[in-house]
Amino acid sequence: MTLTVEPPESPDITNRGLPRALEPADSLEGTSDLRREELEGILRDGAWSEAFNEWAEYTDLDEAEYERIRDAGLFHELDFYWDPLEARLRFEVPTLPSALAEQTDLASKANAELTDLGHIVVERLEDGYVDWGEEGDSGDTWSEETFEEETFEEETFEEETFEEETFESD
């Protein structure tokens, strides 16, 4: 089913606490290690709309269900961050408000669809926007290397002739 709606505003992820998946005791130097400011800028500059439109092509939500989830602010509350301990992008689906959680059919559908959207956003970010790799591996780092001029001599191959062999069966 294709959902024909305008993408909601991208999530505001800069003013968030530590994600539930990360322990406060983990060796983080604050939330700046999560690279949320960079991610928010990338999402705002088009990655969110691209990922949302891709998700909307395949979602199982109808327009009324989408509007209820949007009106509850759940798209805006999706959280995206860089996990410095695992060196990868991650996301968290927000907790459903009690009014929505009481409707079990919509609640499970909302969780599944928000999870699908989160995966698509992370894939879009990894495929076309960020390549942070391992810590210390920066795409902004250039190194100068001097290459010696290589010369290749043309190799000559002797043409081999193969004699046709015939095998007779007994």
If you compute the radius of gyration of the chain from its CA atoms, what whole number of angstroms results?
A: 26
pTM for the whole structure: 0.74
The two three-digit tokens of residue 27, written as one number: 């060796």
Say which residues have a Cβ less than 8 Å from residue 99's Cβ, sequence separation at least 6: 72
pLDDT in tens, the chain (170 residues): 689 999 999 999 988 888 888 776 555 666 667 889 999 999 999 999 999 999 999 999 999 999 999 999 999 999 999 988 888 999 999 999 998 889 888 999 999 999 999 999 999 999 988 776 654 444 433 333 434 444 444 444 444 444 444 455 55
- The torsion angles phi and psi of 88, rounded to 5 degrees, stand at -155, 160
| Amino acid sitting at position 90 | R
